[in-house]
Structure 1
Amino acid sequence: MKAFSDTPEWVEKTKMIEQPQSQGFFVEFFVFFLAEKGVVGKLIFVVGLFFSQPLVVQANAASAPIEISQPSLTIGIPDTLVNPKDVIELQKMLSELRRSLPKYHVATITFSAADGLDALRKDKPDFILAPTGFFATIDGSPAQNTYKIATRINLKSGDPEQSVGAALAVLNDRKELVSLADLQHKTAQSGLPNTIDSWLSVRNELKKNHYDDEHFFSKISFSNNAYPDVLSALLNKKADVGIIPACLLENLEEQGLIKKGLIRIVHQKKDSPLGCRHSTDLFPDISLWAAEGTPREEVKDLTIALYKTGGDLSRQWVPNVSERRIMELFERLKEGPYRYLRDITPAALYERHKGAVWFVFLLFVFLLLNELRLNVLIKRRTAMLANALLEKDNFEAKAIKVRKALNAYEKRSIVQQMSGMIAHELSSPLGSIRTYVTLLKMEGSSKIPFSKEVKQKALNGIEEQVLTMSKIIDRVRGYAKNNYSRQEDCDLALLLKKSAGSLIAERGRQLENQIVFDWSVRTYYPIKGNALELQILFLNLLRNAADALSDDVSGTIHVKISKDARAEQWLCEIENPASQMSQSQLEMINEKSYSVSTKTTGLGIGLSICRGICDRHGASLSFQLADKKLKAALRFDILPEGQSAQIGG
């Protein structure tokens, strides 16, 4: 709850500033003369002194008429500047200005601080003496209506920007009121609600300490002046807390208007540049402003008078005092020029956050357009992906078809490759059949007929050899028809011997002395595999090696079998001369995709078939070039006996 109480005839109180310097000494004399009187008597004396000042001013005006030709220089003073110390100091200031500016008639105008801008527009003073932040608390922009000239120095402060504040005063006998928290829900009395050295600085302190500044006290009453109104309410126990300007209590105690120890300050600030007790942050003191429209010559003369070297005023007034601290206070409290922050209507919020609203709107538009762009891109990329997947499916179908065709071609190629081997295997049973037929033909020319046993033996031999030939043909036909082959125990050395025999039968007996086997004859080299495919594998490699010897009659083919104990593998090596092979060619044939025939170096014939057979048997095939000799290295796993598997072809 907030209430106002007005001191009667407050307008006349500050007219004592008009009195001459001699009247100022008179006032000071009586103030100190009554230092030993009671508190109530002192307050009555000061109030009576304020009421007596209009008569003094009128008497002075009657005894010293003003020349009409003398230009007037008026200074506006708000009615809230009635602190006795301020009154005396301002009176001295006016007297000094009158002495420094003899060509001007320096006069004062007291205006109502509550009326603010309306009072200034009505009275139109040339200069205004106002407390700090005064123009920020009234309607109108100070930057458009007034211009700061100087700021008063508080001689008790070491920093002009930290000169005034507020103090939370309580009676010393209220022992329960010690901290700021103890004042919550108590009644309070303050000066005007829009003054920095009173209620506003207290609100700022409450905010900083995380309290509800507008509902901290159970009741807050406001009056025009801290002295004597606020102190009277506190002394009469009409309020628990009195909010007074900093240094006011010290000034009154020094002048004997308040007994020392009667009033105590709560929540005192430590390590402050101000040498007075206070409870809030500090701000600049009273400032002198030039009103808009004041002649520049008057502003210049007054400024020179204030800052004149050696003058009394130059020690009390300084320029260039920032109001940053004041504006931060107003922004935190949403008062003065920041009061619009209290307005939360949509229009006010838009006006206050126009930049942010437009940023969010443009960001939303950007995100919306980006979303549309992403949708278009997603549809486009989805269509492209669908087409790619369709092409992939078509390609895979074609690849499967091609693989089947290649597999069939490989089977046919293998069958074709087996022609020489089959001819070699069929030559033996055919020779036996021819022998038996020849014996039977000899019976007609022989004088001694053959016995039935001999004839039957010959016929049985023919039948047996025919069955052998039939098995060989069925085995080849079965391999060509099926896509898999069953693996069985095989002897690696025996398969190499058979493949070499097939090659010798195919190429001629001259190869018998050019193929050299390097292994123990009695050693068994067991592996798991399809004997027919492995024979074709070895036959192709031996053919490549034989092709490399076509121009070198003295060359030899070395076939070696050894055991790699560490890897548990059989290592089969077929080595032949390769004087014309380069390192680049070696790299090419080691690529799985290479299948071009290079007969002069002994490579390329059925190389893709060889790799396919190796893959089906879990074997590895690599080529090495050293000392102008090419070595084909085959590695087979040593598998336990009895293990077999079917490997898809």
Structure 2
Amino acid sequence: MRLRDRQSRFWRCGFSGLSGRVLLTALFGLLTAAFLWQPLPAAAASDTEASAPVSSLSAKSSPVAADGRRIVRIGYVERSFMPEERPDILATFAWLKKKLPQYQIEIRNYTIPGLEYAIRHGEVDFFLETAGFYRRVYVQGLRDIATMITREAPNPSEAVGSLILVPYDSPYKSIEDLKGKRAAVSWIEAFSGVYIPEGELAARGLSPDHYFHYVEAGSPMTNLLAAVQRGDADFALARTCTFEQLESTTPEYAKQFRAVSLKKPDAVFHCRTSTDLYPYWTFISTQTATAPVSRAVTVALLTMPETSHGVAWGVVSDFARVDGLFRTLKAGPYAYLRVESVGDFVRKYRTPILFGVLLILLLIFHSWRSGRLVEERTAELEKSRLAEEAATRRKLEAEKKLETFERVSVIGAISSLITHELNGPLSTISNCCGTLERLFERTPPAPVVTRMVALIEKQCWRSSEIIERVRGYAKNRNRELVPVNFSAALERVASMRRLAHPDIHITLSLPEKPLFAAWDELEMELVANNLIKNAAEACASNPAPRVAVTLSEKAGSAILSVEDNGSGDQSEANTPLSPTPLHSTKGNGLGLGLLIVKTLVEKISGRLELSRAGGITLARVTIPLEEAKGASPEPRAAAVPQPKDKASPS
């Protein structure tokens, strides 16, 4: 309603004859000139500077340390924290340094004005302060990432308020009795000591302006009580939960004071309070923090275990209550709301208005010219957008064609090696194995012969399955993916490779908990078999051949690493490799093994990475994991695979 009344009064002042654009330009011209020429108090100037858009800030990118690591700069104000809180803050900084070794964490202690300056000039990537400070100095690019949680305040959205403390024998019973009295606060811009109590006054229908006379006593909270005892102040405005800590450490001293205007006890918040509650200490990222750094710091904070005092970090959905507090008080970023009418505006900025009138004609021309430039620029941007969309469509079409070409190439290469005629020999071998088994029923042979025949029959079945898979792939038939025990399948493949390469030391390292992936079991074994087989053949000429197979889990993905010492150049630097179709370093190789592996892995949204360094060749496969829904882990295979019952290859 106030905005509407103000607009109607402007219309009645003789502007109705101008166009809408001219009127709006003239109004903004007056406001701009007024604020440019009117001397502002220091506090207001600070708020205005802090609220400047990010384009006006000198955002400096984080420097890089001598060892190549990015320097992550974290600012905070040590004197803002109570002595009891500082160990938990230091523990948080130590946790970040431990969890983020890829960055060099620098902790910088500032004063309040110094921290505001560092934020405006891009000298910190993150800072730790109260929610009130965050919203008071808010500029574009700031983003809250985590808020402190304590045992006393497990809800980060309602974690801090103010407690009014008076001498035990004082006559004051409520906040209404304290009008015009002296209040001891830590500092004149304290969120919990000044703004929150004034918000409580406004909520009770009282005018917070000049209701209290503030006496700056500094921190910790005992300084506020000392000021009251000396007679410098009539009462203290302390942060919630500090009085409970005083009662636990020095109960005799705490008994000399009592709290007034207490709120009803809260089942979640375990401390006394005289005001409403707001978010607590908050970690904020600035415009200089890149997305990977912000993500890494956020994950580290949210996964930090509780400290010995029960401090952890959580997420606040929004800071609307803090913004509402400043809006109600017309303070911080809402200080401009104190000008409530045209009369107030004219009386306060009479001199600047005279200069503003001289700028109106120039601003009108500027408005017209800006409109023309905006229209031209909009047309250029629209043209650029259409061209970019066309380029994107062409890129997607080219990628689709390339994918189709790769699929056809792989199918052609595989089909040239495996044909349907193989089913005939495989059937013959399988039938012969069956005949031998029936013969062995009458004349039992040595146990090793029985095992070898069973192994031959099993491998015939497996070969036939591979042929059918190739046919299905050629016909673009996708088999249903089910959770498969990656650990058990890998151990079976490793056992077979040990039998095939008895002179090569093949080690296998599996996680304690089986890993399950949504994959086809045969394709999984085919990938593992190709990688281990290639590694074993590559290091066969080494005097001490070694193949290390490792399965691990990271960030919801299974990582299969196969290392071999087949490369003889120990001084070779880290070199990425890539599979090349129809090219192989082996004399009888076709260069299709790794291409098949890459195709099968990428088919399930995985990736294959090859590298060589210091005489070691590494193949790493990363595939997404899936929880085994009701599936029990498969038993690990023995050293020699057991034959399946009557498996026919045809």
Q: Which of 1 and 2 has greater Rg?
A: 1
Q: Structure 2 length normalisation: TM-score? A: 0.40
Query: Which structure would you say has the larger RCO, counting Cα contacts within 8 Å and 6 or more residues apart?
Result: 2
Q: Structure 1 length normalisation: TM-score? A: 0.40
